[in-house]
Structure formats: structure tokens, C-alpha cells
Structure 1
Amino acid sequence: MSRGFVKEEDQEEVPMVPPRADLPEGAINYVTQVGMDELLGERERLITERDGLDNTNEKEKRITTNYINAKLQLLNNRILTAKIVDLSTQPQNEVRFGAIVTLKIGSDKNLQHYQIVGVDEADISKRKISFLSPIAKLLTDKQVGDIAVLKLAKEDRSFKIMNIEYPQVHQ
């Protein structure tokens, strides 16, 4: 039946699903093992949520199911395109994907620690930055003692690399 013959109040809303973190066209979807585990956990939570929906309001259940299925579609695409980087194979004396980098930023006496991770793992509150971020790109291939300079509008900010380590994932 054509949608033109359906009562307006019977038409379901198409759920607006927020996009996942930006991954530019052609960029490889690198993830750490921890990041992949988080993606798989997110998928399990969404499936459990969808399968446990209340059946009392059929229309609300359909709308919520469509929303969760749309989120799952985006998530499954990320999982299928993910390329897990084995951190034990990274050059341990250089900043690369997965590294936890200890930085002295400018004249600040306090050292900062950041891990370079995939776009879905990035969370500044957890001190995890995307490998596509300007700072991560600036730090990549640097070694302990190197200084990377980020040119900002009003000033240059220097990042001195104090330490590089790679977390070991235990299965």
C-alpha cells in the first residue's frame, strides 16, 4: 500500500541516529584490542536492550527497535572494518598507534599522559586521543626527548616526549 493512504498518526517516525565518531573516507579503522572489546560489548548491550523491550506499547517498541537496529547497523560496520593493531609489534621506542605517551607541555611542571587510540575509543576524559587528531599526528614517529611543536593561532605549544610505553593486553 502506498504511504499516501496511511493515516498521518499511523506513520512511524524514522529514528534519527547520531553518527559514530568521524572516520574520514579511506582512513583505516585502527583499534586496540581494548577498543575492539569495547565495540563488541556495546553490540551485546544493544542486542540485550532490544531483546528486552517492553511489549505493552507496540508502536513505541517498533520505534525503539528501529532506533536500536539503526545504531547496531552503524556499530556493526565499525566492527567489520576494524583493524586490530597488535601493540607488542609496535616499535617500543617510537610513538605509534596504541602508545601511552608522557608529555611535558610547554613550561607546565606537571606531566600529562595520553594514549593514541582509534576514533571510537577516543575520550579525552580518559586521556585517550584519536590517532587522526592533530596532536597524535604531530607526536607519531617521535622518540623520548624529542620536542613536537603545535602551531596555534596565538602561540606555539611544545610537547616534550618524556616516556613512551605500550600497554600489554592479557587475554
Structure 2
Amino acid sequence: MKTKLITREGYNKLKAEHDYLWHERRPEVTKIVTWAAGLGDRSENADYTFNKRLLRQIDRRVRFLRKFLPEVTIVDYSPQQEGKVFFGAWVEIENDAGDTKKFRIVGPEEIYGDAKEYISIDSPMARALLKKEVDDEFVVHTPEGEKEWFINAISYERPSSS
């Protein structure tokens, strides 16, 4: 089962997506469908067929967001988290080979789209990191076996690109 947690930024992004789809995108597509339907034969009308499908996709996403958003818990930063890895943390880790990774631990619904630097709180990596501190070593159980990492940095603000 997916964890029903979300960062404040993630919630605001999904809320903005809902509002855009419902108040802007859906009315635009509805106008096109209505116009295309008025042209007559719908079976060979590409405008009608394509936009009708698009309208169904928009409605499906809006239904999902309307069900999902009231059910999640927004997790804001708390000073007690400082120095340890918890939900919402930006973490930099390194292995013995010198490979480094930087990412933020977020809710499962936040890792899609342009969020390449996010990992889900439900992932084995995030689970292994929870409550650890800088310089701690930890082991992640992966399908390829156990991988050992250590923590270089923990922050609750987006680190500047270096």
C-alpha cells in the first residue's frame, strides 16, 4: 500500500494541476468537442475523436485528484528533524566506488513527471535512510543484493546546484 504523505510543494503542485485541468484545459477541450460534434458525421471526424479521448483523460485525472488530495497528509518541515533523514529531506549519499546520488524523499505521487531527483518514501533506499545522520553507513537491499552507502549531507531546503 502506498504511503499517503505528501510535501507541501507536492500538494500545491497537484492542486494547481487540478485547478488548471478543471478551470482552463477542460473548458477549452469541451468547446472543441462541441464545435467538432456540430460538423456532422462523428465517426470520421478526427477533431471530435481525439478531443473526446482527451476529455476522458482529463476527467479521469480530475477524478483521481479530487479523491486523492483530501486523503493525503501534508508533511511540513519541523526543527526536530534537523540532522536526521525524514520525509521531505534532501539527501546526498556516496558508495565506496565514489558514486554519489542526490535526491529528495517524497510521497509516491510526487515522483512522476519532471521530478527526476525525487524518490518515494516507500522505496527500499528511502526506508534504509530513515532516521540516519550524516556520516552514517547504511545498507539497501536491492534485487542485485545488498548495497552499502554512506550519507554525505542532509538538508530540508533544496541544495544549490554545484
Shorter-chain TM-score tier = 0.7 to 0.9
Query: Are 2:18 and 1:43 aligned?
Result: yes
Query: Are 2:160 and 1:160 aligned?
Result: no
Distance 1:76 1:111 in 2: 38
Q: Which residue of 1 aligns with 2:101?
A: 112
Tell me the percent identity: 25
Q: Indicate which of 89, 103, 123 corresponds to 1:133.
A: 123
Give the match's secondary structure for 2:132: coil
Residue identity matched to 2:35: T
Residue identity matched to 2:28: G
| Structure with more helix by fraction | 2
Q: TM-score, normalised by structure 2?
A: 0.76
Q: Aligned-pair RMSD on alpha carbons? A: 2.3
Q: Which residue of 1 aligns with 2:45?
A: none
Q: CA deviation at 1:148?
A: 0.9
Distance 1:89 1:28 in 2: 22
Q: Note the residue ranges of structure 2 that are not aligned, 5 or more in a row.
A: 43-47
Q: Please tell me whether the aligned partners of residues 124 and 142 of structure 2 are also in contact (alpha carbons under 8 angstroms).
A: no
Q: TM-score, normalised by structure 1?
A: 0.73
Distance 2:143 2:99 in 1: 24
Distance 2:72 2:144 in 1: 38
Distance 2:119 2:80 in 1: 18
Displaced runs of 4 or more, over 6 A: none
| CA deviation vs aligned residue, 1:1-44 (integer Å, no higher than 9, x gap) | xxxxxxxxxxxxxxxxxxxxxxx2xx541111110111012112
Q: CA deviation at 1:88?
A: 3.0
Residue identity matched to 1:138: A
Q: Which residue of 2 aligns with 1:21?
A: none
Aligned length in residues = 142
Q: Which residue of 2 aligns with 1:56?
A: 35
Q: Note the residue ranges of structure 1 that are not aligned, 5 or more in a row.
A: 1-23
Q: CA deviation at 1:71?
A: 1.5
Distance 2:147 2:3 in 1: 28
Distance 1:110 1:154 in 2: 17
Query: Are 2:91 and 1:101 aligned?
Result: yes
Q: Indicate which of 126, 138, 150 corresponds to 1:148.
A: 138
